A and B are shown apart, each in its own frame.
Chain A
C-alpha cells in the first residue's frame, strides 16, 4: 500500500510539475549529417530537438530541415543505428534559420541508441531488461529471404535452425532455448507494433501416396528484408512481460523503414545469386552397385544380377541443380515537412537446388506519416501487400511408408536411367511404349519424375498493415490508437497426373486446399512522460489491446480423371465415388489485454522498470482465462558514480548492472481445447448395410481446467564499454522456470479420446550469454570492427506429471515403427537421446549391444536383440555452447564482412544413415549409402537404432563472406552506388557425416537434433548492386 501511495503521489507530483510551454516565436534549424570517416551524407538519421517532440529523418544526402522550433537555445540530438549519437547546441531566433552540421562516428554494429522495446522505444542506457537490437542494413548480406536470417549468429541466446534448404522453408527459432514441450516454442513476431499471426499460412500437403506434409513455412516470407530498418529481440521476462501471455518464447520486434520529409529519394537494389548443394550424401554409383550385386550373387540371387540395368545414374545429381535467385528492390521516399512517406516494391525469385521447386515474391509496401496541428497529431499508415508463389518440392522430407522424394533419391537403383529411350521417364516395372503405368515396385519411384511431374504449389497473398494516430495531448501526454490487420489467403494446389507413377494409381489426382487467416488487432496506448527536475526521467505507458484470430479453410480432392489436361482447374471432372470427401474448418479465438509499464530514471544512474499485464484468452477454460504477468527490473550505471570512477580502470567508459524478474505466459494451445467436441467425419461413419451412415465422433475430451503455461525468469546483466565505448558488450545470466507445461497426457479411461492437453510438468532453463562489439582498428581510411556472441544454455525437465517418461523423436524409415530415439525424462534435458549402446558387429554380421544382466536375451552383457531395459541415455541434442563471430572491414572504398558461427558439443541422430547405410537395402533392389560398404554388417541385418547412429554435432561454419565496393561518385553522376559479391555457407567444419549437423526434423514432442533426408542445404554466391538516386 505504501508503495502504491508513493507511486500515486509521484504521478500527482508529475502532473503538477508539468509545465505548459508557451508558444512564442519559432525559427528553423537546417543542416547536414555526415559520416565522420568519409564525409558522406548519412540518410535516415533521426534528428530531434531535445525536450520537444520535434524531429525528422535526414534525406539521402544527409540534409535535414526542422521548422517550428521555439526561439532560444536548444540541444539537437542526431542518432542513427551504427553510429554514436551526437548532440549539438544551437540558438534559434524567431523567424530565423540556424545551421547545424553534425558528424557521426561509426560505432559497433549492434548497439543502437534508441531501441524499440514494445509499445514504445527506450534509450539503450535506460533499458533494464535483456534486449538485443540490430541494424538490419549491417546484417543484410548475401541472399536474405526473411528477417530471421538477419539475426542468425549475430545475437546471443537466439538459436535459428533452418528446417531445410528449401526456399521459404520454416525455421526453428529459439530464444533462450525451448521451454515448452507440447505448446509452441516460437517467439512472438511484432511488425511495426502489430503482432504477426504465426500460424501455418498454407494448408498441409495432400495425404496421397507419398506426398507428405511439408513443414510450416516461415511466417516472415512475405516481408521484404530490405524494408527492415531494425530488429529488437526481447529475451528476458522483464522485457517480454509487456507482451504477457505471448512473451514466454521471447519477442522479435521488426521496425520497417520510414520516409523522411523533404526531397524525394529513390533507391534501387538488385542481386543475382547462384546456389548449389553444399554436400552430397555419397551413394553407390551404377558401376559400384553392379559390382556389389555381382559380388553377392549368392545372397541376392542370380535374378538380382539379371535385373541390373546398364545405366550409371547419379540420382542425387539428377535431382538437384544450380539454382538462381534474383532480387529487385525499388524504394522511394519523400514528402513535405508535414507528410513523410516511403514506398517500396520488391520482386524476388528463388529457385530451389532441387528441381522444379522455388519461391517467388511480389511485394509492395507503403509507410506514411502525416503531421498536423502544429506537429501534435501524427497519422501513420504502414501497409504491405505481398504475393508469394510457393512451389514445393513434392513429398519433401520425412516420407512415409511409401517413401518421399529424397527417400527415392537415395534408394533408386543407380543402374536404371532417368529416361527411357523414347524419352518418357523410366519407371521400374513399366514396359516401354506404355504411357500410363503403375510401377510394380510401388515404393520406389523415379525421383526426377516425381519432382518434375507432380505439382505442389501454393500461391499466397498477405496483406499486413496498420493505421495509427498519435495525439500529443499535452507536452507530456500522448495517446496512440492503432488498428492493425494481418490477412493471409493461400491455395495449395496439388496435381499428380495420370501419366505419373504416383498419379497412375489414382487415375490422376488433383486437390485444392484453401486457407485463410485473419488477425485483427486494436491497441490503445497512453504515454505519460512528465519532466520534473533535471535528474528525473519518468515514463508511464498504459494500454489496452484486443486481438482476434480467425482461421478458415476448405479443401477438395478428386481422383479418377480421364485426362491430365485440367490439372487442378476442373475438380469436377474426377470420379466422385472414388474420391475422398471435401473438408472445411473454422477456428477463432480472442485475446484481451490491459497493460502498463513505468520507467523511472534518476541522474542517468539508476533505472527502474515495472510492468504489469493482464491477459484474457478465449482459448482457456472459464475461470482460468485471466492471468496477470508482472515484471520488475532495475539497473545501476556504476560508471556514472563519481566514487566508482576511481575504482574502475580509466579505459572503462561504461559499466552498469541490470537485474530483473518477471513472469511470462504461453497460450499456444489450439482453440476449443477446453470442450468435449463432436465431429462428423469419415472416421466416425459406419456402413450399415453397405451404405455409409455419417457418424459423430467425439474428437477430444475437453479440459475444463486448462490454463496458461507460465514461465518465471530472472535475469542478471552487466553492460560494459571501453575506450569511450569503442568496445561495448554485455554479459547476461538467466534462469527461467516454466510450470504448468501444456502436455498431451493420457486421461483415465473410459474416455472417448485417450489423451488431452493438461497443465502438468515443469522445466528449467539456465544460461549465460555474452556479446562484445568494438572498433578493433582505425587508421585513416581503414577501419575494422567486430562482434562476438557466446551462448551457453542448460535445460532440464523437472516434472512431467504422473508418467515416468515420454517417448519422442520417432525414428523414420523402413522397419522403424514404434521406435523412438528420444525420451523426455525428469532430470534430463529435452532432446535427450535414449537407446541401446552399440558395441560392435560380430562375426555373423550382427550388431551387438550392451545389455543389463537379467534382461531377455542378455548374455555376458551382450545381446543382438536389445530389450527395453537395455536402453540408456545417449547424450543430448543441445550444444554445450554456441559462438558467433563477425567482422566488418573498410578500406578506402572497399568493404568486407564475414560471419562465422559454431556450436560445440551436443549430438545429432543420423536417421538417414541408420536406414540407408545398410546393405540390406540391396535385398530389395535398392541403393544405399556408400559408407555401408565398409561396415561389417551382414546383408539382411536389420537397421536398429542405437548409439551407433548418434553422432557428434560440433561444427563451425563460415556463414557469409561479402566484399563490396563503393563506386566513387565521380563515375556515377553523384549517385551513391555500391556493388558487392557475397557467399553464403562457404565452409562447414564438422565431423558429422550427414549433410549438415544443423538440422531439425519434427518427429514428436519437442524432439530436436534428428536428421532424416532433409532438403539438401546449399552454398550460394551472390552478385549485387545498390544505387541511390
Chain B
C-alpha cells in the first residue's frame, strides 16, 4: 500500500492509474446494488412453494374472520339495535360519542363511530375478500392435484362469499372483484352481488366435504355453504334488490325469483339440507354451544375458532361486557361496557332457560364466585334499567354471559369459546319463517316449536312474524343477528326504549338501513358513490 501510494505521487499518469481507477471501480460495483430483498417476509413470488405454505395462506384467510367478529357482529349488528348498548359511564365509554351514536342511530358519514367502526368493517371485510382472491389465484396456478385444488378453491370461494355477504348486508352494492390487482372498481348493484353470492355458494358446495376430521375442525363444509345460502334466501326481500325494500314493513322472500325458483323455497331447501345432513344435532344443553369447550357441540355449523393462547387468537366478548372486578386476565380486568336494554331483557320470560345468559343482580367474580363491589367499594348490582344512557352507573344494564370467560386467559383476547356464526337452531328458525311466508303454517309451527319448546315449553307460542323475531332475539342475542333480522322485519328504525337519551323511532330515516361509505374510502376510490341520504 505504501509503495503504491508513493509511486502514485510520482506523476500525473501514475496517479490516474492507481487512484482514480480503483475509485471508479468501486463506484461501478456499488451503484448497481439497489435491489432490495426482504429477509423476514415473503412476497407472492417467493411464497406458496410448499403444501405447508399454501395451508398457511388459507389459514390467513380464516384469520381474517377474527376482526369481523368484533366490529361486524358485536358493534354494527347488535349495538345499532335494541339488543345491545354501551352507555356512557362517567369517564368511561364516552369515546367521542361513538357508542351512543350507533345505538341512537345518529351516525353521520364522518362521525367518530363511522370512521372507526364502519370504515373498519369495510376494510376488514374487503381484506378478507382480497386475501381470498390472492389465495384463489395462487392455488389455481399451483401444482396441486385437481381434486385438491377443487376442494380448497371451494373453501376459499365460500369464505369470500361470506365476506361479501356481510359487505352487502352493511353497505348494499359493493365493488365485486375476484382478481388480485389493486384497482379502483365501481360498486356493483346489490342484486348482482346477490347473484354472485348465490352462484359462488351453489358452485362450491359440491366440492366441499360434509365434515372435516377433528384436526381440521372449523374449516368450511357443505353445511356452511348451505347455511349461508339459507340466510341469503331468507333475506332475499332485502338483499336481492337494488332499492325498494321497506324500512317499515316486512320484506318477504316470497316472490323473489332466484336460481331454481322462489327465494322462500330456496331458503327452505338450503335449511333442510343442513337439518337433514345428519352432521348436526340440536344440543340438549343449549349453553354448551357457547361454553369454553363448545368445539364439541354438535349444533354449531360455522364458527370462528378460538383458543386460549398468549398470542391472543381467542375471543374477547367477556372483556367488553363484564365489570372490572369480575375477572382478571393477563391483560387485566374487563372493561364494563356492553349491556342490553331493559326492554330486551324483559322479553326473556322467567320460564325460558335462556334467561340465564344474562348477569343480573349481585355481580360475582368468575375466579372466586364471591360477590364483588364496584370500584368505589359499593356492592356491584346489575340492574335491567339504565336510567340515563349518558350517565350510567357502573352496575346499570344487565350483562351478556352467553360466551362465558376463561378465568385463566393469558390475554383479554384469549377466551377459547368459538364464536358461533351459524347454528342448527337457526336453520329451524329460517325454515319456519320461510315456510310461514310460503303459506305452510303447520310446517312453520313445527320448526318453530323445535326451537321454542326446548327452552320454554311451558309457554307455547303460535308462530307469526313477530313471534319469530322475538324467538330470534331470545335465541341469538350476542350472536350478531339482530340488525339483519330487524331490517328484514321492517323494525330496525322503529323500536323505542324508556331510557333517557335512548333510541327514538327513526322510521323516517329509511336511508339508515345501509351504512354510509366512509370519506376515507370515497377519497381512495372516486368511482364509489355514497349511499343515498348521507
Chain A residues positioned under 8 Å from B309 (CB to CB): 687, 692
Q: Given the interface contacts A440-B325, A817-B96, does A689 sit within 8 Å of B375 by beta carbon?
A: no
Chain A residues positioned under 8 Å from B106 (CB to CB): 856-857, 867
Cα-based distance from A376 to B8 in the complex (angstroms): 12
A925 touches B519 (CB 8 A): no
Chain B residues positioned under 8 Å from A857 (CB to CB): 106
B532 to chain A minimum Cβ distance, whole angstroms, is 19
Query: Is B115's beta carbon under 8 Å from chain A?
Result: yes
Cα-based distance from A800 to B379 in the complex (angstroms): 53
Nearest chain A residue, comparing its CB with the CB of B307: A687
A749 touches B57 (CB 8 A): no
Query: Is A745's beta carbon under 8 Å from chain B?
Result: yes
Query: Is A431's beta carbon under 8 Å from chain B?
Result: no
Q: Given the interface contacts A522-B26, A698-B131, A750-B129, does A816 sit within 8 Å of B96 by beta carbon?
A: yes
The interface-forming segment of A184-192, A312-320, A733-741, A751-759 is A751-759
A679 touches B375 (CB 8 A): no
Nearest chain B residue, comparing its CB with the CB of A745: B524
Selected from B15, B39, B391, B520, the residue in CB contact (under 8 A) with A941 is: B391
B182 touches A695 (CB 8 A): no
Chain B residues positioned under 8 Å from A864 (CB to CB): 390
Nearest chain A residue, comparing its CB with the CB of B129: A750
A307 touches B377 (CB 8 A): yes
A685 touches B215 (CB 8 A): no
Range class of the A interface residue count = 35 or more
Contact with B along A398-413 (1 / 0, CB 8 A): 0001100000000000
Query: Is B338's beta carbon under 8 Å from chain A?
Result: no
Query: Is B466's beta carbon under 8 Å from chain A?
Result: no
B406 to chain A minimum Cβ distance, whole angstroms, is 12
B55 to chain A minimum Cβ distance, whole angstroms, is 6
Within 8 A of A (CB), among B334-353: 335
Cα-based distance from A750 to B91 in the complex (angstroms): 37
Cα-based distance from A402 to B332 in the complex (angstroms): 7
Chain A residues positioned under 8 Å from B243 (CB to CB): none
Most chain A C-beta atoms within 10 Å of own C-beta, residue among B35, B217, B377, B379: B377
B151 to chain A minimum Cβ distance, whole angstroms, is 15
Cα-based distance from A680 to B372 in the complex (angstroms): 42
Selected from A580, A686, A687, A868, the residue in CB contact (under 8 A) with B108 is: A868
Contact with A along B294-312 (1 / 0, CB 8 A): 0100000000011101111
Within 8 A of A (CB), among B255-312: 295, 305-307, 309-312
Selected from A210, A304, A692, A815, the residue in CB contact (under 8 A) with B91 is: A815
B378 to chain A minimum Cβ distance, whole angstroms, is 4
Selected from B59, B112, B335, B521, the residue in CB contact (under 8 A) with A749 is: B521
Query: Is A885's beta carbon under 8 Å from chain B?
Result: no
Query: Is B531's beta carbon under 8 Å from chain A?
Result: no
Selected from A694, A696, A701, the residue in CB contact (under 8 A) with B42 is: A696
B62 touches A686 (CB 8 A): yes
B26 touches A817 (CB 8 A): no
Query: Is A327's beta carbon under 8 Å from chain B?
Result: no
A618 touches B34 (CB 8 A): yes
A696 touches B215 (CB 8 A): no
Cα-based distance from A748 to B39 in the complex (angstroms): 28
A819 touches B44 (CB 8 A): no
B40 touches A586 (CB 8 A): yes
Within 8 A of B (CB), among A569-588: 577-581, 584-588
Query: Is A699's beta carbon under 8 Å from chain B?
Result: yes
Query: Is A942's beta carbon under 8 Å from chain B?
Result: yes
Q: Given the interface contacts A676-B44, A689-B218, A746-B523, does A303 sit within 8 Å of B378 by beta carbon?
A: yes
Cα-based distance from A753 to B130 in the complex (angstroms): 9
Nearest chain A residue, comparing its CB with the CB of B100: A865
B96 touches A818 (CB 8 A): yes
Q: Given the interface contacts A678-B43, A941-B391, does A749 sit within 8 Å of B217 by beta carbon?
A: no
A677 touches B42 (CB 8 A): yes
A376 touches B9 (CB 8 A): yes
Most chain B C-beta atoms within 10 Å of own C-beta, residue among A479, A578, A813: A578
Selected from B5, B38, B332, B390, the residue in CB contact (under 8 A) with A865 is: B390
A289 to chain B minimum Cβ distance, whole angstroms, is 13
Q: Given the interface contacts A301-B378, A578-B310, does A688 sit within 8 Å of B218 by beta carbon?
A: yes
Query: Is A565's beta carbon under 8 Å from chain B?
Result: no
Cα-based distance from A401 to B56 in the complex (angstroms): 33
Q: Given the interface contacts A684-B56, A687-B313, A920-B91, does A589 sit within 8 Å of B36 by beta carbon?
A: yes
Query: Is A332's beta carbon under 8 Å from chain B?
Result: no
Selected from B212, B217, B311, B328, the residue in CB contact (under 8 A) with A581 is: B311
Chain A residues positioned under 8 Å from B191 (CB to CB): none
Nearest chain B residue, comparing its CB with the CB of A671: B36
Range class of the B interface residue count = 35 or more
Query: Is B19's beta carbon under 8 Å from chain A?
Result: yes
A925 touches B376 (CB 8 A): yes
Selected from A306, A440, A686, A818, the residue in CB contact (under 8 A) with B113 is: A818
Cα-based distance from A448 to B235 in the complex (angstroms): 58
Query: Is B366's beta carbon under 8 Å from chain A?
Result: no
The interface-forming segment of B120-128, B397-405, B422-430, B436-444 is B120-128
A749 touches B377 (CB 8 A): no
A505 touches B108 (CB 8 A): no
Query: Is B497's beta carbon under 8 Å from chain A?
Result: no
Contact with A along B353-381 (1 / 0, CB 8 A): 00000000000000000001101111100
A221 to chain B minimum Cβ distance, whole angstroms, is 27
Q: Given the interface contacts A676-B44, A697-B63, A750-B175, does A818 sit within 8 Å of B112 by beta carbon?
A: yes
B115 touches A688 (CB 8 A): no
A921 touches B42 (CB 8 A): no
Cα-based distance from A208 to B185 in the complex (angstroms): 41
Chain A residues positioned under 8 Å from B146 (CB to CB): none
Within 8 A of A (CB), among B317-339: 324-325, 328-333, 335
Query: Is A544's beta carbon under 8 Å from chain B?
Result: yes
Q: Given the interface contacts A580-B311, A818-B112, does A442 sit within 8 Å of B127 by beta carbon?
A: no
Query: Is A295's beta carbon under 8 Å from chain B?
Result: no
Cα-based distance from A406 to B94 in the complex (angstroms): 22
B40 touches A584 (CB 8 A): yes
Query: Is A894's beta carbon under 8 Å from chain B?
Result: no
A577 to chain B minimum Cβ distance, whole angstroms, is 8
Cα-based distance from A680 to B43 in the complex (angstroms): 11
B373 touches A303 (CB 8 A): yes
B214 touches A689 (CB 8 A): yes
Chain A residues positioned under 8 Å from B31 (CB to CB): 546, 592, 616
Query: Is A804's beta carbon under 8 Å from chain B?
Result: yes
Chain A residues positioned under 8 Å from B145 (CB to CB): none
Chain B residues positioned under 8 Å from A442 (CB to CB): 324, 328, 332-333
Query: Is B148's beta carbon under 8 Å from chain A?
Result: no
A749 touches B525 (CB 8 A): yes
A936 to chain B minimum Cβ distance, whole angstroms, is 16
Cα-based distance from A617 to B312 in the complex (angstroms): 38
Query: Is A52's beta carbon under 8 Å from chain B?
Result: no
Contact with A along B504-534 (1 / 0, CB 8 A): 0000000000000001111111110000000
The 26 listed contacts between A and B (C-beta, < 8 Å) are A303-B373, A442-B324, A505-B330, A587-B39, A590-B34, A616-B34, A618-B33, A622-B35, A675-B36, A678-B41, A683-B63, A687-B307, A688-B305, A689-B305, A690-B217, A690-B305, A694-B59, A748-B524, A749-B525, A802-B524, A803-B519, A816-B95, A866-B97, A868-B112, A923-B90, A923-B394
- Chain A: residues with CB nearer than 8 A to chain B? 208-210, 300-304, 306-307, 373, 376-377, 401-402, 438, 440-443, 471, 473, 479, 481, 505-506, 522, 524, 544, 546, 559, 577-581, 584-590, 592, 594, 616-619, 622, 625, 671-672, 674-680, 682-699, 701, 745-754, 801-804, 807, 813-820, 856-857, 864-869, 915, 918, 920-926, 939-945
Chain A to chain B: the 5 pairs with minimum beta-carbon distance, closest first: A802-B523, A442-B333, A682-B311, A749-B126, A695-B59
Interface contacts beyond A677-B42, A867-B108, A923-B393: sample of 16 additional A-B pairs, CB < 8 Å, sorted by A = A441-B375, A506-B330, A544-B26, A589-B36, A679-B41, A692-B309, A692-B313, A694-B59, A695-B62, A695-B63, A749-B123, A749-B127, A750-B133, A807-B115, A818-B116, A868-B110
